[in-house]
């Protein structure tokens, strides 16, 4: 469920017409619904009521500090993968003890930042990373709390770019290698082993891959316990999918039921890392139609109609990167015959498209379109390619909105750059 609905033929976010926001803020524009974000977080939490757990929002999904602050107010922690995300989470008011640090390429500098901050633990993903963390902690005269990210070699049945639990994936340690590293870490002076972690991928639409991974993680947990390595935390990641098109992902309550059935009776705190399921359907990208045109085609290729909009692959890369589907709606309802079109942006790449071969109602120059379910991996993956300023972001609550990120201008594009010195 989300809070984007048509009222009097105009698309609204909660009680506010999208057209009214665009009149002041312009396009391209990301619009988020605070009611949807808080509702989705509450629904996720509901399934684990009464269970000792910590829900750490995956910052990479949507990293604006206002949205992180909103989630912090609901009790969320943060799953981070960089020093920059640590900085954002702390600025947003997420307590350090609710932050876990994942990722295969943590630098020594980032490790120091996280240790100084007092994060809950690191999810270690290689033997060399463990050695580096031991060295950094020793330099600081302290201990680093670690969990090992275990790769269970389970097929998550999702896009290969976002599958993270296969043997060929760069993430985590194979089961037996993880066991050896646990034994080694337990003897290190500046390492405190506190948990076990697993994350098999994103946009999962079936429960069975989760269950298969959980069974392997539980077996490892119990094996370590028999060796005297008692774990306080079990981080089982995130990955629940959402409906972009025809997908039928499990409801968070169904996911919670499966988790508790597989992991019931364990004496530890469970850590969850939802991202997409919280914010994907909480945000839209609003774009203006610049031009329409039709290429006549030839004997081999049919005619093609293009709707050229002011949003592009630098604003929303998922369609170009993953072939992802996003529903596209006119911000104002219109009647008339639908037409098959490509919705494309201004960037000088044939891969710059929002949708291909999509049926849309009558579209005219100056119309506003809403690219739905863009809240996850939308703005957070945007760039300045083609020297395009990044979009503004707005958060709506009831009939009010706040600009939570100003639209970039040309000065922002060259901030940090310099001309050549005369004597260079």
Q: Please list the active-site residues.
A: 348
Give the span between the Cα atoms of 23 and 315, in whole angstroms. 20
| 8 A C-beta contact, residue 372 and residue 327 | yes
CA distances from 306 to 84, 296, 355, 379 (A): 38, 11, 10, 24
Q: Which of 55, 63, 54 is nearest to 81 (CA)?
A: 63
Task: Give the largest CA-CA distance in the chain.
Answer: 74
Residues in the chain: 424
Angular region, 237: left φ>0, alpha ψ -120 to 50, beta rest: left
Helix axes 252-263 and 34-46, enclosed angle (nearest 10): 30
Helix pair 83-91, 108-117: axis angle to 10 deg: 20
Residues 124, 126, 127, 129: what is their CA dihedral angle, to the nearest 10 degrees? -60
In contact, 393 and 382? CB cutoff 8 Å: no
Token digits of residue 124: 């270690």
172 phi and psi angles, rounded to 5 deg: 75, -175
Q: Token digits for 58?
A: 């995956």
Question: Do 307 and 342 contact (CB within 8 A), yes or no?
Answer: yes
CA triple 115-73-78, angle to 5 deg: 35
Q: What stretch of H or E contains 176?
A: helix 175-186
């Amino acid at each position: 469920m989300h809070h984007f609905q048509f009222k009097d033929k105009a698309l609204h976010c909660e009680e506010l017409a999208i057209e009214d926001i665009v009149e002041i803020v312009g396009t391209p524009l990301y619009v988020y619904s605070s009611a949807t974000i808080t509702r989705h977080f509450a629904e996720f939490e509901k399934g684990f009521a009464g269970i000792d757990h910590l829900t750490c929002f995956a910052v990479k999904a949507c990293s604006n500090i206002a949205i992180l602050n909103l989630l912090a107010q609901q009790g969320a922690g943060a799953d981070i993968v960089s020093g920059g995300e640590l900085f954002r989470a702390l600025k947003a008011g997420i307590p350090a003890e609710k932050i876990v640090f994942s990722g295969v390429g943590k630098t020594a500098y980032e490790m120091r930042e996280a240790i100084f901050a007092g994060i809950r633990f690191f999810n270690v993903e290689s033997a060399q990373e463990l050695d580096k963390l031991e060295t950094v902690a020793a330099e600081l005269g302290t201990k680093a709390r670690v969990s090992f990210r275990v790769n269970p070699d389970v097929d998550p049945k999702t896009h290969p770019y976002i599958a993270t639990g296969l043997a060929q994936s760069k993430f985590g340690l194979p089961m037996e290698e993880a066991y050896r590293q646990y034994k080694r870490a337990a003897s290190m002076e500046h390492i405190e082993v506190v948990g076990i972690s697993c994350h098999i991928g994103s946009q999962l639409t079936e429960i069975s891959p989760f269950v298969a991974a959980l069974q392997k993680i539980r077996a490892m947990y119990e094996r370590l316990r028999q060796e005297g390595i008692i774990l306080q935390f079990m981080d089982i990641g995130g990955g629940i999918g959402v409906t972009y098109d025809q997908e039928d992902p499990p409801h968070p309550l169904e996911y919670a039921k499966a988790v508790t059935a597989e992991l019931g009776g364990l004496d530890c705190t469970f850590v969850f890392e939802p991202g997409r399921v919280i914010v994907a359907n909480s945000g839209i990208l609003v774009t203006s139609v610049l031009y329409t045109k039709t290429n006549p085609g030839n004997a081999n290729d049919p005619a093609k109609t293009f709707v050229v909009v002011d949003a592009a692959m630098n604003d929303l890369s998922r369609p170009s990167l993953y072939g992802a589907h996003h529903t596209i709606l006119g911000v104002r309802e219109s009647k008339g015959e639908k037409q098959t079109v490509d919705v494309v942006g201004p960037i000088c790449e044939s891969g710059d498209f929002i949708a291909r071969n999509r049926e849309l109602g009558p579209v005219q120059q100056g119309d506003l379109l809403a690219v739905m379910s863009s809240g996850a991996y939308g703005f957070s993956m945007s760039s300045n390619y083609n020297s395009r300023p990044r979009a503004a972001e707005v958060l709506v609550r009831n009939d009010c909105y706040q600009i939570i990120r100003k639209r970039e201008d040309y000065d922002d594009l060259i901030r940090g750059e310099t001309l050549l010195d005369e004597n260079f």
